[in-house]
Amino acid sequence: MLNLSNKFQEQTLKWQNPLNFAKKISDNYGDESWIFLYSALSEKVDNSFSYIALFPKEEIISENFSEIAAVTKDHKIWFGYLSYELGQQFEDLPKTQKSYINLPKIWLINFSVILQFDHKKKKLMAFFDDQENLEKALKYRLKKKIQKEIKSREFQSNFSDETYLEEISDIKKMISEGNFYQTNLTRKFFGKLNIDKKSSSYFSLFSRLCKISPANYAAFLSLKKNYIISASPELFLTINNKGIVKSRPIKGTMPRSDDEKQDQKNKLELKNSTKERAENLMIVDLVRNDLSRVCEAGTVEVKKLFDVTSYKTVHHMSSEVSGKVEDNFAMTDVIKACFPAGSMTGAPKIKAMEVAARKEGLNRGVYSGAIGFIGNDLVNLSVVIRTLICRDDDFEFQVGGAITFDSDEKKELEEIFNKARGIMKLLDVF
């Protein structure tokens, strides 16, 4: 929850469904940047707030993490993303080739109007520094449009199924030789869309993805005709104004089934899987280690371990790690200590990232990075997974899985497509 009364004027508005409000913006706002953070499962989990931020005032579009350290001390709130390759600035890692859609490593925006939707209280608050901008947003109305079908007309990947299986086998061999314990090997899919290139069309993709694969950290970022469409279920970091930091890594996946008995069997199998628990525990230890670098001694603890949550297309296993940030560390110090999310790297972290970079060859870009908001005393960032990136008629998305010595190559490949199911259904790719 944002408390911006010392930075903005505020006004309580009549409650509206945030998805409907965002749809009105997509219909009327044009190509100026705006961001929607949507808690699509707010009634089931603890993140019960959604946010819409619009009318940009300042932007940080940069390749260098150090540029955000100073500006987050100015009592402003910045919405946007951090890309995975920022990790190359913190450690000596192999450089990778540009992605299919190349975006800046950092894109953060300070907005004039922020709308905060409290789902549990059905309360809508507007924070603003320009009354005219707020009134403009409130006058937007839904436009009736006949939306043509949007789907893929080209579809490619940086791995074939065969080469992906071969790389998994090679990673298992490296693990057996004692090089590391686990790495997250990802696969990028990319191609072309049949789309009319209007903001409302990309938002319609987001709306459909929220129905196909609802998630607690969904996000729609419209950034100068670049569109990030995310249905992430995973929290990277949240830090409150008392310095309490939490991370909720996901590691462990099983598919949902239309057959109720089989679905419950899959869920129970995930909950009791020795392999999946071992994968999850490795990442929990990694996150504990990351947080211990910036938290007070003795405060880092595991609040939840091996929780299984059911989403529309998959069951996921997650754990929660928390701590109290030392007073001499800024919010950006905490982000740097934990970035990128351990669930997207492997363990030990640096070696796992090195192996993945050499195998994948391409920048992950926004995928595996973080989306949300950053302030001097508040942070809320999701892990960028289940995310489609669009520019004009180009698209890309990426999925991955944790490879350990016990991994079954064919099951890992199957897991890739289970995780991609929502976006592949969205793009009519099967």
Catalytic residues: 234, 251
Bond from prior residue into 348 cis (ω within 30 degrees of 0): yes
Return the structure tokens found at 271: 């909950």
Give buried/exposed letters for 352-362 (b at 16+ CB in 10 A, else e): bbbbbbebbeb
Residues 6+ apart with CB under 8 A from 171: 183, 185, 355, 359, 403
Closest CA to 55 of 6, 109, 18, 124: 109
Q: How many CB atoms lie within 10 A of CB 232?
A: 22
Q: Report the alpha-carbon distance of residue 281 to residue 345 in Å, rounded.
A: 14
Residues 283 and 309: their CA atoms lie apart, in Å, by 17
Cβ contacts of residue 256 below 8 Å, gap of 6+? 263, 266, 310, 311, 312, 313, 314, 315
Which one, of 219, 53, 76, 19, lies nearest residue 134 by Cα? 53
| Tokens coding 151 | 């789907």
Answer yes or no: are the C-beta atoms of 224 and 242 closer than 8 Å. Answer: no
- Angle ∠(100,102,107) on CA atoms, nearest 5: 145
What is the three-class DSSP state of 18?
helix
How far apart are the C-alpha atoms of 71 and 62, rounded to whole Å? 13
